[in-house]
Amino acid sequence: MKTKLLAALGLGAVVFTASQAAMAGVSVGLNLGVPAPVYVAPAPVYAPPPPPPAVVAYQPVVPVVAPAVVIGWHGDQYWDGRRWWGRREWYGHRHW
């Protein structure tokens, strides 16, 4: 039984030391200095301001005021919208 125990311990020691040697490997690397991909916001776009509005000069509007049509007596004459009547003509025409 002792021999089996010693053989098992010896085998364990060999496996343990072999695994340590396997882990102690030589590493050779080559780095070219390429950075990792990173999102960068795009540069702002310059948009010129809109042009000023065109100046349009209109000619001033001349107000035209039509004279008021007043139907009725004006002194000794009467205007009915078509013609002037004298007092005698008007009263004679109306039979007053």
Q: What does the pLDDT average to over 23-32?
A: 70
The predicted model scores a pTM of 0.23
Long-range contacts at 75-78 (CB < 8 A, ≥ 24 apart): none
Domain ranges of the chain: 67-95
The candidate with the shortest Cα–Cα distance to 76, out of 65, 63, 91, is 91
Sheet holding 72-74, edge to edge: 72-74, 77-79, 84-86
Q: With 80 as the cut, is the pLDDT of residue 20 above it?
A: no
Predicted pLDDT of residue 11: 80
**Mean confidence (pLDDT) of the chain:** 79
Over the stretch 56-75, which tens digit does the pLDDT of each residue have? Answer: 988 998 999 888 777 777 77
Comparing 57 with 90, which gets the higher pLDDT?
57
Over the stretch 28-52, which tens digit does the pLDDT of each residue have? Answer: 777 777 778 888 888 999 899 999 9
